[in-house]
Chain A
Amino acid sequence: MRRAVLVVLALATVAFRPTPAAAADPVLATTLDNGLRVLLLEDHRNPVASFQIWYRVGSRNEVRGATGIAHFLEHLMFKGTPRYGRGQYSQLIEQNGGRDNAFTSHDVTSYFVDIAVDKLDRVIELEADRLAHLLLDPSDIESERQVVMEERRTRTDDDPDGALAEETSALAFRAHPYGAPIIGWMVDLQRITRDEIAAFHRTYYLANNALVVAVGDFDAHEVLAKIGAAFGPIPRGPAPPPLRVTEPPQSGERRVTLSRQAQLPIVYLAYHVPNASSTDASALEVLSTVLSGGRASRLYQRLVRERQIALSAGGDYSYFSADPYLFWFWATPLPGQTPETLERALLEEMRSLQQELVSDEELARAKNQIEAAFVFQEDSVHSRASLLTRFELLGGHHLKDQYVPRIRAVTAEQLKLAATTYFTGERKNVGVLLPKP
């Protein structure tokens, strides 16, 4: 399950290169007096809109003993305000033909509604209402606590991939909150109190800590006025405390082995890498596509097709991570192959990247794939809104215009250098899952 999240993040990292027509589309970007950041983009191809509100809070803002609180709060955001009681938020959205959902990541909590554009006003009103007036009723908290625990059971306790990803992440981070699972440890989920949740909500759910992004068949200035009317009265709050944790450099290989009821073993390897603030970020992005982008990619070709030792294999980099995170490798052996063989094979592939340049074809293909994916994403208002937000969170939505040129500028030498710098024994974290006999 975690791998699916990784893949989603990887896909989300692809750049947005506007077509000639789209390059003329202005993003209306502004900040309200209370600090709410607003990005609006008109898209008149279908009578729909995607309205998203992203809060700059995720599991990275949690403390030990209260992990999972950001995600728990995400659930509770659907539980009602004085004006719209328990369950009414979702019912109102559905009544208006909208689809709503939310997710919590390491860095952000994001809420979205995709809806026919003539119903957008209602959405704006509802989002402002629950930002400002969330009830956090104690009995709702208790029943949702059970739901979140069930979710943890589905995604982690009963899922070998999820369980292994959780253990490997915990291994890789000694100090930084990225080491704790987003869903939270079960013991914390059982213990978290209403007071802690309310304090977390007060600290982070502020207009000045949020972004509203909407893409759709509307008039941007009209929508801005509506957003201003609905969100404007919400007062600014004290700026949330910045996270001051730096993960100390890893000084040696780390390993964890899990034993679970499973059919086949799994191998994960994770290495500490920098985030987008580094000049190596674009190279790491291209590297992840060379390794794992499709059936012609390096790991699929070598491990799945040529050597026939893996059922699946891949690599992934999170370009948009707020703090330096991990470059993941994974492989599932075919029956009869051991995890040791797969680990060795993955390390051989890393060595190969460190010793030889990738071919011109591989490099060109990876760049073409990244650029094409970018164009494909333009077909959906939801994707356009999400991508704008990712870049805005990185430092400004205009950064997306630099993304593809930076990808295009990556050289084979830079890939070799990145592999040499980052895929070293000193930075290696290994997770192995062995099926219980």
Chain B
Amino acid sequence: MGYARRLLVLAWLALVPAAAAATPPIAHREVLPNGIVLLVAERPAVPIVSVRAYVRAGSVFDPSGSPGLANLTADLLTRGTTRRSGEELDRAIEFVGGSLDADAGRDGTTVGVSVLKKDLDLGLDLLAEVIRTPTFPDAEVARRVTELKAAIRRSMENPESVASRELMQLVYPHHPYGHPVEGTLESVGTLDRERVLDFYRRHFRPDAMIVALVGAVTVSEARQAILARFGNWERPDAPTPAVSAPPPTPSDRTKTIERELTQATVYLGRPAIRQNDPDYFALVVADYVLGGGSASRLYMKVREEAGLAYSVGSHVAPGRYGATTLISLQTRNSEVTTAVEIVRRQMQRMSTEPVLAQELDLAKSYLIGSFPLRLDTSSKVASFLIGVEDGGLGLDYADTFRREVARVSAEDVRRVSGVYFAPATFASVTVGDQASAPKAD
């Protein structure tokens, strides 16, 4: 479930905000002497502060053979520092009703703190401790490995988790995106404190970190507070690690996994372009027309007209090393073939016929008009800032997005669909009871 949820979060990040008219800068940006990128958005109305630190230490850096290392490292950050034990950290943040979490994704690890304004100093102290001085106690490492294995086992009973994990292996067989962020039962069992320490030392560095503070905090307060805690964190001499992997090639591999379920879960996917590619806007529009909202082709054909699914849709999950185009649906076992045929036909149509003016307008109206909803809470703004900074999209991305989406033509949509929604280029996974005769309900 973790991966599917992460993809949804990433997909959500992809649809970055478009503001209304000409807007003041959404945040203040500066680069500290040691390379930390600091972003601050002042929102004084509610006495809370959302802090997000993002470090380029994602599963994409897991050594081959050790998937799950980034994830384990992230999980352990809050399990003990030179100053406080894991339990003391929990008690400190929870006593003030705040939250402190560290999560690894494909590309990076996010360490988030949310506190009432009055507790900002404490929140930032804890943030600095877990990022700069985690101790990875042996007992915690062992405990977390046990828990992760149990969690992976538990997720194996969730068809969506299984489908997304299997799909990513088919889409990225020779690329780090192909392995699950949380690792596998086998690989997690091989992880130990040495490897965690090595990963931490290699990837947790100031010039690989972005920190965003949003809420009841001023630029100067934020700068002073971050400098006080992170200013003397030395930038290593070695260059920041890079990922070297061949660009993924699309394939039409399929896999079926038998499970005793009343429904089948089908996931289709292929690699796609990065968020800073000029065609990305056309891809986002195409994705919305195909399977975004309730007027989308997939929703109308599969759910509304055929009644075959409660859940069906498409989305583009951005990534630093390329996006992933995904289509998913769940339908009763006996209807899988019918439903998938409809899906593939609709994908094909996207490139053989130009989309209708009405469909194009609706997609653009939604993508542009819903923008303010992506920036209406401090925590959403913090996520957005991290996303645009990491993607190199510019703090004026709201305006860029609005302008570029408005320019997308039906021909642009047809052209990018010919590549990124071509059914023959999609790998697919089906999880369900496909072996038995169709079940009566």
Contact = CB atoms under 8 A, between A and B. Distances in A.
B262 A157 contact: yes
Nearest to A294: B94
A10 to B, nearest CB: 15
B307 A147 contact: yes
Interface string B318-332: 000000000000111
28 contacts: A19-B46, A19-B47, A45-B45, A78-B294, A90-B294, A94-B295, A94-B370, A95-B366, A98-B370, A99-B370, A142-B307, A143-B304, A150-B263, A150-B308, A150-B310, A153-B330, A154-B310, A157-B263, A160-B157, A190-B441, A261-B261, A305-B143, A365-B91, A365-B94, A368-B97, A369-B97, A370-B97, A375-B48
B371 interface: yes
A46 B361 CA distance: 25
B95 A365 contact: yes
Contacts of A261: 157, 259-261
A230 interface: no
Interface string B247-267: 000000000000111110000
B91 A150 contact: no
A262 interface: yes
A97 B369 contact: yes
Interface in A47-85: 47-48, 78
B195 interface: no
Contact of B371 (A19, A97, A114): A97
A332 interface: yes
B83 interface: no
Interface in A336-373: 361, 364-365, 368-373
B178 to A, nearest CB: 23
A153 B332 contact: yes
Contacts of A171: none
- Find the residue from A99, A261, A295 having the highest chain B CB count within 10 A: A295
Contacts of A160: 157
Contacts of A365: 91, 94-95, 97
A165 interface: no
Interface residues of A, number: 72
Interface stretch (B124-132, B375-383, B390-398, B418-426): B375-383
Contacts of A371: 97
> Which applies to chain B's interface (DSSP): helix, strand, loop or mixed?
mixed
Interface in A156-197: 157-160, 186, 190
Contacts of B99: 294
A332 B159 CA distance: 19
B295 A91 contact: yes
Contacts of B376: 45-46, 48, 380-381
B428 interface: no
A332 B154 contact: yes
Interface in A248-307: 261-264, 293-297, 301, 304-305
B366 A97 contact: yes
Given A94-B293, A150-B263, A157-B262, 4 more contacts: A154-B330, A158-B261, A264-B154, A375-B46
Given A46-B375, A150-B332, A380-B377, A263 B259 contact: no
B300 interface: yes
A135 interface: no
A4 to B, nearest CB: 11
Closest 10 CB pairs of A and B: A97-B369, A372-B97, A146-B307, A143-B307, A90-B294, A151-B310, A150-B310, A97-B370, A295-B90, A91-B295
A145 interface: yes
A87 interface: yes
Contact of A48 (B43, B90, B372): B372
A295 B98 CA distance: 12
Contacts of B365: 94-97
Given A150-B310, A311-B150, A116 B372 contact: yes
Interface of A: 19, 21, 45-48, 78, 86-87, 90-91, 94-99, 114-116, 119, 142-151, 153-154, 157-160, 186, 190, 261-264, 293-297, 301, 304-305, 308, 311, 332, 334-335, 361, 364-365, 368-373, 375-376, 378-381, 436
Contacts of A436: 260
A48 B374 CA distance: 10
A379 to B, nearest CB: 5
Nearest to A373: B97
A96 B94 contact: no
B151 interface: yes
B98 A147 contact: no
Nearest to B117: A375
A222 B385 CA distance: 35
Nearest to B88: A296
B309 interface: yes
A164 to B, nearest CB: 12
Contacts of B378: 379
A145 B368 CA distance: 34
A142 B306 CA distance: 10
Contacts of A364: 95
Contacts of A45: 43, 45-46, 376
B27 to A, nearest CB: 15
A87 B159 CA distance: 29
A46 B406 CA distance: 23
B367 to A, nearest CB: 8
Contacts of B340: none
B147 to A, nearest CB: 6
A147 to B, nearest CB: 5
A372 B116 contact: yes
Contact of B96 (A148, A150, A368): A368
Contacts of B43: 45
Contacts of A87: 294-295, 300, 304
Given A46-B372, A365-B94, A375-B116, A186 B362 contact: no
B122 interface: no
B353 to A, nearest CB: 20
Nearest to A97: B369
A143 B305 contact: yes
A385 to B, nearest CB: 13
